[in-house]
Structure formats: C-alpha cells, structure tokens
Amino acid sequence: MRDIAKSVSYGAEQHAFEHTLLGEQQSFTSLVSTTREVEATPEWQAVYGTTPLEIITTKGSCDYALGTRRIAYKTLGSWRFAVPHELAHILTYDRHGPQWRARYVWLVRLMYGNEYAEALVAGFASSKLSVEVLPLARTTPMLPPELFDAQYGGPLIAARPEAPRGAIAL
Ligand SMILES: [Zn+2]
C-alpha cells in the first residue's frame, strides 16, 4: 500500500515544530516517560483503553508504531514530537492519512495545548492537507508551560528563535 501522504506529513511537522521545543531531541528514557504520561490520561484511556503499550528501541533511522500495541523509538533519541506522531499511528489505521492527522493534532493539543496544535494544523495546511478537529474537553494540556518547565527545566513556549514558523503566524 502506498503512503503518499508520508513525505508531505513529515514536511508539515518539520515546518510546525522545527526550532521549537517539540523539535528537540530527547533521550529514549524521556520519550518513554512522556508516552506513559499520555497513557495515564483519561482522554487516552477513553479512546484506547488501559493496556500499556510495549515500547522498544530501534537502532534504525526511524521511529515506528507496529500494529496497535507496540512503539519503537530510536536508541539515540528522537524528537519530542515523535511521541504524539507514533501514538497517533497506534490509534489509527490509515498510515499518514486524514484519520492519523486528526489524531496527531488531537494528541498535540492534549499534551502541549492549542498553540502547538494549531501550528501543526497550519503545517499540514501549508501542504494542502486538511485536519478534522476531534473533540477534546480539557482546556489545560497535560504538560502546561509551568509543569513543562518544572519537568524539563525550560519554558514550553518562550524559547523560540525569530520567525521560526514563517507564514503560520499570519
Ligand atoms: Zn509516521
């Protein structure tokens, strides 16, 4: 099965997250702990259930999700946005298609809030890919800026170089 949306999706998330904290490389341990935090939320459990995912390492160049139970993150650490990217694959079956996009944006909103979610939507839009908005009741993300600051030792929103997102702000 061809996955024609794959490369444009990668471009969209790079456009959205490069030079932001979600584009920072993380240790495998950090990726796992963030994944476990998502799994512990009622929102995740309402969609997926409470069965823990199997999280393994891969020495390959890509992270991946396998079926509905297993995620592999690179041994050397991947970007922070790898977590919602791969979790969205766990919840959908259309590779990088519209269902995956919708769930990816939903996960970013759940984890990091509206600003990052809208940046991703804009990234997809710049590749002419629409995103369905999935309902999310919570208004405070799983990692709001102050909690993110406490856990990771840096601000979630502030540390951003000039105009990293180009036309997104317009
Ligand atoms: Zn993917």
Contacts of residue 146, defined as CB under 8 A and 6 or more positions apart, other chains included, come to: none
Distance 95 CA to ligand 1 centre (A): 7
Residue 44's Cβ-count burial label (10 Å; 0-12, 13-18, 19+) is buried
Question: Model pTM?
Answer: 0.87
Does the structure show a pLDDT above 60 at 121?
Answer: yes
Distance 91 CA to ligand 1 centre (A): 12
Q: How do residues 14-41 score in pLDDT, each as one tens digit?
A: 889 988 889 888 899 999 999 999 999 9
The pLDDT of 84-112, averaged and rounded, is 96
Helix (H) or strand (E) holding 65: strand 64-66
Show me where the domains of the chain are located: 10-155
Distance 138 CA to ligand 1 centre (A): 26
Distance 42 CA to ligand 1 centre (A): 24
Distance CA 49, CA 69 (A): 11
Q: How do residues 131-167 score in pLDDT, each as one tens digit?
A: 999 999 988 999 987 888 887 777 665 544 555 555 5
Distance 102 CA to ligand 1 centre (A): 13
CB 164 within 8 A of CB 122: no
